[in-house]
Structure 1
Amino acid sequence: MSTHTHDPATVTVLGLGPMGRALAGAFLAAGLATTVWNRTPGRDADLLARGAHAAATAREAVAASALTVVCVVNYDASDAILREDDVTAALKGRTVVNLSADTPARARDTAAWAERHGIRYLDGAIMTPAPSIGTPDAVFLHSGPREVYDEHRPVLAALGGTHTHLGENPSRAAVYDIALLDVFWTAMAGYAHALAVARAEGVSGRELAPFAQGIAAILPPLFEEFAGDADDGTYSGAINPITSAASTMTHVVHASEAHGIDATLMRAIEGQARRVIALGHGDDGFIRVTDLLSRR
């Protein structure tokens, strides 16, 4: 069945965790006829009170709309729903926007599966937390056929914020997602470790926080500069050569381990820096580590 036989102001949401409920709520707030389904029942009460339609099965849910938005924990979960024979058959000629998180390889595999079954497919990533959905602060990334994105962009706009189409390659949204999650969780791990070290020396988290925010404020221009270094292979260490950086990393390791605090993460980072130095790049900046990590 062609997607064009449906009222374009309809949408189905599969998956009603906190993010899925936020997506469905934003569609409802925008006046879209919204059908919802979740494998575990009982998570739709608030949405039903706001006018959502509850489907009894996933097949019924996807058959209700030209566009189905999926948001579950990973692609194992989305595959378990979408690749059921009756659901796959019902999706033929319709569009799936998969906002579940997983790897680029899984995104490519799902896009290939969709193409084999006549399903129009966009992969996507949500880069902001559930409370941002429906507000100007939400950030969505999409990849896949541009014509499919353009057709459904008016409905996706109901989710608020900014939507960026990253290209026809269906895995590009997942690439950005993985890379940006790498930045986020590495930073969070570093901050958790910093709080533990500060606490061991009698400094509270609230005392440290304003200065930690100051450190965070210097990062955006460094991200831009270091991106250019990595792309161009320049790796300037004029401001802070990696030999100096490695020395400060050693201080963190010693201070941590003096209090019995696990310094595995900083030891790993220091080890990377020392390997770069051993390769003859001691005058370069820290981001030379990118080349080290890219070696096969």
Structure 2
Amino acid sequence: MTEIIDRPTITVLGLGAMGTAIAGAAAAKGFEVLAWNRTPRSRDELRSNGIEVVESLTDSVDGTDLVVMCVRDHDASRVLLERVASALAGCVVVNVSTGTPAQATESADHAAELGVRYVSGAVMVPTPMVGTDASFVIYAGSEADLAELGPMSDAMGGVSDIVGQNHSVPAVLDLAMLDIYFAGMYAHLHATALAAAHGIDPSRFLPYSQGIVQTLGASLAGLTSSAERRTYDGGDARVDMCLSFLEHIVSASREIGIDPALAEVVRAASARAMTRWPGGTDWDVVGEDFLVARHDMRC
């Protein structure tokens, strides 16, 4: 544990799973930790972990060095910010509540209207990793406000990724990374069920799943290059060949009665590409659907 000599105070607003993890990590690193939650929490258990629960919302932020908001959504965080704004006395608020890029921008604008120093954040790891070397948090805000993040960075551990002044960026990266994560987890569970239906135990299948994830990781740079260059002539994976694979995945899933929805989405995208591009085109061309939509949105 890193001992903090002058014991700066961190206030955590919201004691859900992530808020409690943040408060616990800060206490473990030697910070004085105050916490407030909308509904009552067990004081004894939290106090034993170095977290002091304060019943009054405004008292919880009075004289604190840094405020961390971690509540259910940005609507809730904006209500909280209105209630504590007058008591902050120039203290920086870090909002790590999950939301869309538009909601994150709206919350930052709302904070500016209230005269609150404000940083947008996104915690990119599960709660057990908070406070460890594996922690990863993304922050955006003004240079002056980001300069006050020392206590937060020390408490969270791991990597603090500063992405500039655009408050929408942490939310964009958060949701984009989760997009990959949840699709991957769902695909693994689907594949595990497909294998199990044919007598392959989940534990036996696991190394194969891990192997294909490594293959996917090695493929990402090429996919990114294709998206940037919008050229699809590398010859690595033909769209007609991949469409055939996907047809087999859908058929095999239906044969054993498991939902092929994710594979059907990818198959449909591949089939659309086949109507506009030669079959020998790289499968990466399916990304044109997204790129065209992105271009249309910017126009």
Show the counterpart of 1:254.
251
Equivalent AA in structure 1 for residue 79 of structure 2: A
Structure 1 segment 110-129 matched on structure 2, within 5 A: 110-129=107-126
State the 1:209 CA deviation: 0.5
State the 1:54 CA deviation: 1.9
What is the alpha-carbon root mean square deviation over aligned residues? 1.8
Show the counterpart of 1:184.
181
What is the rounded CA distance, in whole Å, between the counterparts of 2:67 and 2:281 in structure 1?
49
State the 1:19 CA deviation: 1.5
State the 1:106 CA deviation: 0.5
Equivalent AA in structure 2 for residue 105 of structure 1: A
Show the counterpart of 2:144.
147
Q: Select 1:220's aligned residue among 188, 196, 217.
A: 217
What is the rounded CA distance, in whole Å, between the counterparts of 2:26 and 2:33 in structure 1?
7
Structure 1 segment 65-104 matched on structure 2, within 5 A: 65-83=64-82, 86-91=83-88, 93-104=90-101
What is the rounded CA distance, in whole Å, between the counterparts of 1:292 and 1:281 in structure 2?
16
- What is the TM-score when the length of structure 2 is the normalising length? 0.90
Q: Select 1:235's aligned residue among 227, 232, 237.
A: 232
Show the counterpart of 1:3.
none
Change (3 A) 1:51 1:202: closer
Which ranges in structure 1 are unaligned for 5 or more consecutive residues?
1-6
For residues 88-147 of structure 1, the C-alpha deviation after alignment (integer angstroms, 9 at most, x for no partner) is 322352211111111111100000000111111111111111111111011111111122
Show the counterpart of 2:157.
160
What is the rounded CA distance, in whole Å, between the counterparts of 1:130 and 1:211 in structure 2?
28
Equivalent AA in structure 2 for residue 54 of structure 1: V
What is the rounded CA distance, in whole Å, between the counterparts of 1:233 and 1:134 in structure 2?
40
For residues 212-246 of structure 1, the C-alpha deviation after alignment (integer angstroms, 9 at most, x for no partner) is 11101112221122112212212344111111111
Equivalent AA in structure 2 for residue 61 of structure 1: S
- What is the TM-score when the length of structure 1 is the normalising length? 0.91
What is the rounded CA distance, in whole Å, between the counterparts of 2:59 and 2:183 in structure 1?
41
Which ranges in structure 2 are unaligned for 5 or more consecutive residues?
1-5, 294-299
In 1, are the aligned partners of 2:22 and 2:156 still within 8 Å (CA)?
A: yes
In 2, are the aligned partners of 1:104 and 1:172 still within 8 Å (CA)?
A: yes
Show the counterpart of 2:296.
none
What is the rounded CA distance, in whole Å, between the counterparts of 1:279 and 1:218 in structure 2?
28
Equivalent AA in structure 2 for residue 12 of structure 1: T
Q: Percent identity?
A: 34
SS of residue paired to 1:151: coil
